[in-house]
Every structure is written in C-alpha cells, then in structure tokens.
Structure 1
Amino acid sequence: MPIKLEIGDIVELKKQHPCGSKSFEILRTGADFRIKCLGCEKQIWLPRPELERRIRKITNNEDNKS
C-alpha cells in the first residue's frame, strides 16, 4: 500500500542532501515524485518506491492547503 503523500507535504529523508538539509517539500506526485530541498532549493525527481524507502518522517503542511 503506497504512503499517502500530497503536494506541499514536508518530508524528512534518512540521508541528507549534499547541502546538509534533510527536509524536502513535495512538488509533484504520481509514479515519479519531484521534491525540493529546503536548504538549497534544488529540485530532484525520484520514483515512488525509492522515495518511500528514503522517508523518515512526514509533516503535513496545512498552511498551503485550502
């Protein structure tokens, strides 16, 4: 069963990005995900299974949802 992830959610990954940040914002969902590093704002594309394996914690960002 896939993890329920939505656009605007903030996820903390197990390994940090080269800039030192572990927090990423989800920009696109589907079979492939586009996430943005909250440290340097670099965008990364990952397949769903790989992203789900890397996630340590999910924070739902209620401010961006209407």
Structure 2
Amino acid sequence: MPLKLNVGDIVVLKKSHPCGGNEFEIKRVGMDFRIKCIKCGKELWIDRVNLEKRVRKVMQAEGGEEKA
C-alpha cells in the first residue's frame, strides 16, 4: 500500500543529499514527486517507487506528527 504523502510534508530519507542534508519538503505529488532539500534548496524529481524505498520518517506538515 502506498505511503500517504502530501504537499508540504517533510520526509527524512535514508541517503543524504550531496550537501549533507537528509530532510526534504514535498512540493508535488503524483506518479513522480518533486522534493526540495531543506538545507540547500535544490529541487529534485523522483518517482514514487524510489521515494517510498528511501523514506525513513514522514513528518506531517499540519500537525507535526511523525510516522515511521
């Protein structure tokens, strides 16, 4: 079952970005995701399958709740 990911959520990935950050904000959802590195601001496109494999933790945008 796919993860419930929404625009504005912050995801922590298993691998870090070359800048050293591993927290990304979701900018667009769908078959492909656009995510933005919190540390350097670089935006990346990644497909749903690869993103779901790499997610370690999801922090919801509105409530600040965490999901493992």
TM-score by length of 1: 0.93
The one-letter code sitting in structure 2 at the alignment partner of 1:48 is R
Q: Does 1:17 align with 2:14?
A: no
**Equivalent residue for 1:54?**
54
Structure 2: state its 5+ residue gaps: 64-68
The DSSP-based 3-state class of the residue aligned with 1:62 is coil
The one-letter code sitting in structure 2 at the alignment partner of 1:44 is L
- Count matched residues: 63
Greater helix percent: which structure?
1
Q: Does 1:32 align with 2:36?
A: no
Runs of 4+ more than 4 Å apart: none
Aligned-residue RMSD, C-alpha: 0.9
Looking at structure 1, the residues matched to 3 and 16 of structure 2 have their Cα atoms a distance apart, in angstroms, of: 21
TM-score by length of 2: 0.90
